[in-house]
Amino acid sequence: MNAETPKAEELSLPQALLLLATNDKNGEAELPVVVLKAALAGAILAELHLRGAIGLQGKHLRATGNAPQPDFQDQLDLIRDKSRPHTPKRWVSMLESRAELHRVYEGMVSLGILEHVGEKRLGLFGATRYPEKDHAPEAAILQKIQAALGGSLSDSRTTALIALLQAAGLLDRLFPAADQNRVRQLVKDHWPSRAVTDELRMIRLAEAEAAT
């Protein structure tokens, strides 16, 4: 890791989530885009919550007045400026965005973690891929998750990431031997990941109804 590459604990939850959800070699997402967008929206909520910028009041999400890191100021402003509060699940639905996926990816390109690779199809630029350039941040994140799943004391950022990976269906792929009792213990009270799970359930129900 060079001096300019951030340490694992310095990456935001959206950055860490996308890093783990992207194939190191070919730079393609390991999840369908609909799942990735919902998981990223949940990760943004989780990041804002960790930074004290939002919190739950009953069933609704509200801004607290504290400032997050500038990366997610737009999302915080949306939450703050809404005339009436919404549930976390509703905010996941409202914050889902393909443009935000690319913005977070490009942020990691600027940090030297990923590379931007554009493919040409029929003379036009098609899908963009983000293969890994520096594996050290991802390796450090995986090590922290492995330690937490193994029973070590887990910090709030690692716990949140585990919960988001579980909601997205990635945790079992990355750690197939994980103790499921330990996983449930870690993720049970994490409301952003529950919001992702609820949103994905509704999407799948809508898809199933449309197919019949």
Kindly report, residue by residue over 11-55, the tens digit of the pLDDT: 999 999 999 999 999 999 999 999 999 999 999 999 999 999 999
Give the whole-angstrom CA distance, residue 31 versus residue 163: 16
Q: Which CATH number applies to 8-211: 1.10.645.10, 1.10.3720.10, 3.40.50.300, 1.10.3630.10? A: 1.10.3630.10
pLDDT digits over 56-93, tens only? 999 999 999 777 667 899 999 999 888 788 999 999 99
Kindly calculate the radius of gyration of the chain based on its CA atoms and give it in whole angstroms: 17
Tokens in use for 35?
A: 């799942």
Tokens in use for 212?
A: 């019949």
β-bridge partners, 125:
120
Q: Which residue has the higher pLDDT, 182 or 71?
A: 182
Give the whole-angstrom CA distance, residue 43 versus residue 184: 18
